[in-house]
Chain A
Amino acid sequence: MTTTNGSNEAIPTLQLLDPRGSRVTTRGTKGYRDRAAALTTEDLRGMYRDMVLTRRFDDEATSLQRQGELALFAPARGQEAAQVGSAYALRTQDYVFPSYREHGVLHVRGLDPVDRLRFFRGSDHGGWNPTEHNTAVYTIVIGAHALHAVGYAMGVQRDATPQDKHDGTAVITYFGDGATSQGDVNEAMVYAAVNEAPVVFFLQNNQWAISEPTTRQTKTPLYRRGEAFGMPSLRVDGNDVLAVYAATQEALERARNGEGPSFIEAFTYRMGAHTTSDDPTRYRTSDQEEEWRRRDPIDRLAALLRAEGGLDDDFEAEIKAAGDELGAKLRTGVRALDGGPAVSSTFDDVYATPHGVVAAERAWYEAYDAGDPPAPQYAIAESAQGGAR
């Protein structure tokens, strides 16, 4: 093993579907191949459809940003297999802790696409009710949510009866190669390991932390970080939806069976910019981008489906129509978000119970906003002794 980054040739990497879309039969992968083989043509068509719609969401959101309708957007282009494949392995009761680029995961979890853009529109710090979808809102401080995932998993353990080690709920947290350098991600792995928490660490190594390549983050292949903390760890071809699905399903099963945490490194590539504010031409070559375009996760699954008779013109047309519908919904829905709560809603939900400072500042702001002579900003109830002197 001589290379650590930039090439996955020298590092053991689970692959079940090669870039030409042919199933791979490597020795030692039978367990994973069996899991992939259990996916029906209908399942694969669903995955394909969701990957295409994830990319369409990306394109539509990027356009909306260019038109000034979104403040920012972080595209997931190139990571559709890593996201859709892993999300297909989840159950409804499983809890997801995403970062901010998991559009494919959120799509599969059934989150409303307009809600997913509230944050990027600048109209919400979150966008949905986490408890309705067992999916936390975006976390922007890199890696902070990995600890929340582990804590949630520790809660799952505590909910379980002693006889039944856990209640069948597993937790998954998504993060990137840059996040592996964060203390919180490393602390999360410590806490998960010593508690044998039912959690899967799902790293999407898309090779770029904004402008920094993984050589600025690590001297070892990142999946080995998980090993070092005492977890079963694996690198998978992140552009191979079958390998991602099989590896994630296996890791989730371990969690459900009380066998503790796992670490998956999905080796993929961020085909687009970090966000709409970024300019990748300043730090990477188009040769590298072209090389990864030839390993496009969607083309790969399309080739498999075509070869196995799962993809025809009618289905392509159906997906195209669904994409058009998604685009129309986003264009109308995002603009309609401006009819949302009044500015004074800024004061809502700062605390769950009344807090004197927030209450006084709200009262002042509302009077000011109504054009009434502003009351003192820190107005308080007149006391009995008020003005007695």
Chain B
Amino acid sequence: MNIENTKAQMKKGVLEFCILSVLSSGDQYPSEIIEKLKDAKLIVVEGTLYPLLMRLKNDGLLSYRWEESLSGPPRKYYKLTPVGKQYLKELKTSWNELVEAVNKTIEKK
């Protein structure tokens, strides 16, 4: 039993959902995603993001395209695939259910 581990697992579960949500508002490249997640205090270290993005891409939820940048090398812009959009929708529903259920449990105490 390791509480840090539990905390991390809890965050990790919602992290995917959050990435997808962030991307639902438009295509973004990793630094922008990181910025938003950091603001929300969902991630502490950036390194966490890359493996996740990779997995989401491999699972077909995300795709990316290269875009030239003015200030440096080309950037990788991630976007949701149709499957990803569907996935996000389902996650949103189950998230709301979960929040409700959890809150109920906590308040009952």
> Is B truly associated with A?
no
